[in-house]
Structure 1
Amino acid sequence: MTTEEPIYDSPEKWVRDHIEGYVASDGRQGHHWRGLPTLLLTTRGRKTGKLRRTALIYGQAADDYLIVASNGGAADHPLWYLNLVDEPRVTLQVGAETFDARARTATPEEKARLWPVMAAIFPTYDRYQQDTSRDIPLVILERVES
């Protein structure tokens, strides 16, 4: 993704504030938020074509990063997830490091194996899944060379 384009941060004020501190401190502030590891995910808006950035809790499996499209257990997928389904090329900032990645939804077999990794980090994901009829996607983010 081109970093010269403007990036539009989450419309949620608390998320925008988190992102602002994360970016301004080169990841020293915000990488661990309330004791949870967080990364910044930049997707391309499927309708607008604009770059959209949000902060998400993450886990790891080998060299890959994991995120959960929980949307707080809501009935609908989060917009960032819909964006990366449409365009899987994304940018991540993890701490001080920024790099390109390819996003993909975990297969049912991968999700069965990796969901416990994410639930161990943020146990509320289990409740979110119980509270919605939607199958909450687990996303695998694979680093790609620029």
Structure 2
Amino acid sequence: MFVSPLTPLDRLGAARIVLAQKKRLGLRWDAVAEAVGASLAWSTSALLGQQTMTREQAEAAGNLLDLDADVVDALTLPPVRGAAAVDLTDPLVHRLSEMVQVYGTTISELVREEFGDGIVSAIDFELDLARVPDPKGDRAVITLNGKFLPYRVW
């Protein structure tokens, strides 16, 4: 892929190249995470442009994925978080959004009842995905583990 030196590669452009290289090489995200030296969810998020990567992490990913230096450099740029980095038309992302629309107020109410008025942090946060066999069809268990931060009174 040619990238003009006048148009530097950004995080989302680097993410597209990472995805293409991962597919070309037939790698799984767990192998990439092992090379990066961080959790599966964090490493995947980082390589998709949503987390800050150190030079060492970016170079480790670059070595495994056979990335050009400009892509490795782009992986160290500030992350692009939020809707700009998410394809809301992707069927799974759409269903996750639907889950929040249906259960968001329930989760908010239950967190408030258990912890008080505040939020669950997406900064001090961990995510896990597990496959659970079920005779009616395997189930996906998604664990969102964030630190509770109470609102401050002053």
Structure 1 length-normalised TM: 0.28
Greater gyration radius: 2
Kindly indicate which of the two structures has a greater share of residues assigned to strand: 1
Which structure has more helix as a fraction of its residues?
2
Q: Which structure exhibits the higher relative contact order, with contacts defined as CA atoms closer than 8 Å and separated by 6 or more residues?
A: 1
TM-score by length of 2: 0.28
